[in-house]
Copies of this chain bind each other. A is one copy, B any other.
Amino acid sequence: MPAYTDEGMWLLNEPPRERLKEKYQFDLTDAWLEHARLASVRFNNGGAGSFVSGNGLLITNHHIGSDALSKLSTPTRNLLRDGFNAATQADELKCDDLELNVLQDIEDVTEKVNAALKGDQPPANAAAARRSAMAAIEKESLEKAGLRSDVVTLYQGGAYHLYRYKKYTDVRLVFAPESAIAGFGGDVDNFEFPRFNLDVCFFRAYEGGKPVAPKHFFTFSKDGPKEGDLVFVTGHPGTTNRLETVAKLEHRRDQTLPFTLARIRAMEAALHQYGERGPDQRRQSSTDHHRYANARKAFSGQYQGLLDSVTLRTKSTAEYDLSAAAAKLPDGKEMNDRYLAAVTKVRDVQKVFKDIEKEYTLIETGTAYASPLFSHARHLVRLTAELQKPNGERLREYRDSNLESLKLELFSPAPLYPDLERAKLTASLTFLAEQLSVSHPAVKKVLEGKSPARRADELVTTRLFDPAVRKKIFEGGKEAADLADDPMMQLAAALDGPARAVRKKYEEQVEEPERQAYGEIAKVRFAVLGRTVAPDATFTLRLAYGVVKGYEAEGKPVPFATTYGGLFEKAYLQQDKEPFDLPKRWLDGRAKLDPAVPFNFASTADTIGGNSGSPVLNRAGEFVGINFDRNRHGLVRNFVYTDVQARHISVHSKGILEALKLYDCPALVKELGAK
């Protein structure tokens, strides 16, 4: 048998104890796991963080905090560019719509969910029954425990686990460095290594107006990791596709990724152009812009990976091997037949998906109207209709257990800029017309015979910019007729029918049949391999592990870590030009920093987008760094794990302490109490 690789984003309730024991002689105890779980935090805007003091202090990435930093900024206070440093707790700034979750426990509810599907139901009924069962489990859990409760689909439908979270919604900004050092190298160096980023941001969780006192938090290591050290990453990897069938991956290669890339490029070009109009526009658009630039690179990397025939050949072999192994089981013939039937089913589903994917993505998931203004309008239109139905019959996002989180988003007072929203709407409406053509009935409804630019002009006259208006409509329910002439509300209402229709098709003809097929595939996989393969990532808490380690690129060794000396050298070589321009504080304070102190480091642990802000821990469960990126060799990890060159990249805990020397933040340093 081959030695284990460090592959795996492991479930906290199915941890890789044997592997760690065998390869690293490490005992993964229940206490270690519980501590790691309760000190790890999910940032619901797409990342991770962790408690690093008994006073509710949290560390995450600057690029995870940037959404809040941008929303807290004004034309005269640019927190994104200039950073922030609260002198006292009273100076900490409340973030309007940031929700944090801490995972309290996990319960396997696979049988409960599947029990709802007894008998041979048509997919439409099965989808409804499954949705209803999930909503009921969540509602019961919410009412019983008072905790946010989500049923998570694992193994593409092979298992269902109930995750219960403690929720924090009073989150305040404590400290952020300047974006020029947090994101040194900007989009140019995104997915590259060596790197030099102080990609950190500190927040504090409050409850009842007082800082939270978490029982579990990570001790901040003053030395951080050395080359060769075993490290752990606890975070919320977003999405991987490693257990998908070859047909599904071919569909991604031939349909989903080209379409997604085209969409992202259209949005990126528009945001780039908007940001270039002037400094103010740049501030307004930079978070969105970076998000699309990052997504373009990530999806490009995935696409290159799938175009390399080696990738799919590996997957074909695995599919064949599993079939062959299944055939050798005691009930081999039946097992293998079931497996092959399920693989065929997934293949057939892609033919249906191909015909509706663009419509579904554009019209229902809303990429055709890429503005929070439309999301708000749609929620207001749908909420009032959905809330009149029983919990189990609603569209999933309107289930009782999700309403609080939804309201937090809907009533957010975070500023929206008309010109920026106009630019985003113009770009996304244009993309809609490009993809479906203006003769498509839904596109006709959207554009009303006008050019996308002219239609966007109309739509941004909406009153939904004002959170008070949104609240009023929400509270007025169906009676809020005074907003009947609002163009965005009208658009959301006019599109509700077509959008629901394509969603129904998707859920009944794609999602549900896929889940059932993957349920069968998972049974075969469990029978052959047991639980030795971790499920694909689902933006839920996972444990990864690996070794701090350099690699070789273009024939030269790339050391495991960078240093502050390297930072200043790189800025010099790039002539201090944006995005390689250092903040004045850094240029002035250079002498205060030890050039030999490590800044960023690389490790082999298995991470993916969504892991941003994940704490990196040592054997003792201490905080030794914070993950913020992968190198480009790691982009293929959506489909296959490799550790030849692929690495995730973290800020070194010693490096963080060194950087804080440049900032006047004695209370923060004291609170970290590094040991």
Contact = CB atoms under 8 A, between A and B. Distances in A.
B452 A307 contact: yes
Given A188-B277, A276-B187, A304 B269 contact: no
Interface in A266-288: 266, 268-269, 272-273, 276-279
B188 A430 contact: no
Contacts of A437: 254
Given A265-B266, A438-B307, A575 B188 contact: no
Nearest to A313: B449
A657 interface: no
Contact of A434 (B258, B272, B276, B439): B258
A504 interface: no
Given A188-B273, A269-B296, A430 B304 contact: yes
A572 to B, nearest CB: 12
Nearest to A426: B304
Interface string A277-321: 111000000000000000010001001110111000000000000
Given A253-B438, A452-B304, A272 B272 contact: yes
A261 interface: yes
A453 interface: yes
A577 interface: yes
A215 interface: no
Contact of A279 (B449, B452, B453, B575): B575
Contact of A453 (B272, B296, B304, B438): B304
A460 B296 CA distance: 24
Contacts of A574: 278
A447 B307 contact: yes
Contacts of A253: 438
Contacts of A261: 266, 434
A390 B303 CA distance: 46
Interface in A421-480: 430, 433-435, 437-439, 447, 449-454
B438 A577 contact: no
B304 A451 contact: yes
B265 A309 contact: no
Nearest to A254: B437
Q: Is the interface of A mostly helix, strand, loop or mixed?
A: helix
**How many copies of this chain?**
2
A266 B305 CA distance: 18
Chain A: interface size category: 35 or more
Nearest to A292: B269
A262 interface: yes
Contacts of A296: 269
A254 B438 contact: yes
Nearest to A192: B277
Given A276-B187, A279-B577, A438-B253, A454 B269 contact: no
Nearest to A278: B574
Contact of A308 (B269, B451, B577, B579): B451
A569 B273 CA distance: 22
A579 B257 CA distance: 33
Contacts of A575: 279
A40 B99 CA distance: 66
A614 B307 CA distance: 46
Please indicate which of the listed interface residues A257, A304, A305 has the most CB atoms of chain B within 10 Å of its own CB: A304
A579 B453 CA distance: 25
Nearest to A274: B188
Contact of A258 (B278, B435, B453): B435
A309 B434 contact: no
Nearest to A297: B273
Given A308-B454, A438-B307, A276 B449 contact: no
A449 to B, nearest CB: 4
Interface in A26-85: none
Contacts of A305: 451
B276 A188 contact: yes
B269 A265 contact: yes
A436 to B, nearest CB: 10
Contact of A309 (B276, B308, B450): B450
A387 B456 CA distance: 55
A644 to B, nearest CB: 15
Nearest to A257: B434
Contacts of A258: 433-435
Contacts of A447: 307
Nearest to A443: B307
A41 B437 CA distance: 41
Contacts of A453: 304
Contact of A300 (B188, B268, B300, B430): B430
A579 B449 CA distance: 36
Nearest to A577: B279
Nearest to A304: B451
Contacts of A451: 304-305, 307-308
Contacts of A188: 273, 276-277
Contacts of A454: 304, 308
A15 to B, nearest CB: 35
Contacts of A257: 434
A430 B303 contact: yes
Nearest to A307: B451
Contacts of A304: 430, 451-454
A450 B262 contact: no
24 contacts: A186-B276, A187-B276, A254-B437, A254-B438, A254-B439, A257-B434, A258-B434, A258-B435, A262-B266, A262-B434, A265-B266, A265-B269, A268-B269, A269-B269, A276-B579, A278-B574, A279-B577, A304-B430, A304-B453, A304-B454, A307-B438, A307-B447, A307-B450, A307-B452
Given A261-B266, A268-B269, A307-B430, 12 more contacts: A187-B273, A187-B276, A188-B276, A254-B438, A265-B269, A272-B272, A276-B579, A300-B430, A303-B434, A305-B451, A308-B450, A309-B450
* CB-CB nearest 3 A-B residue pairs: A258-B434, A309-B449, A308-B451
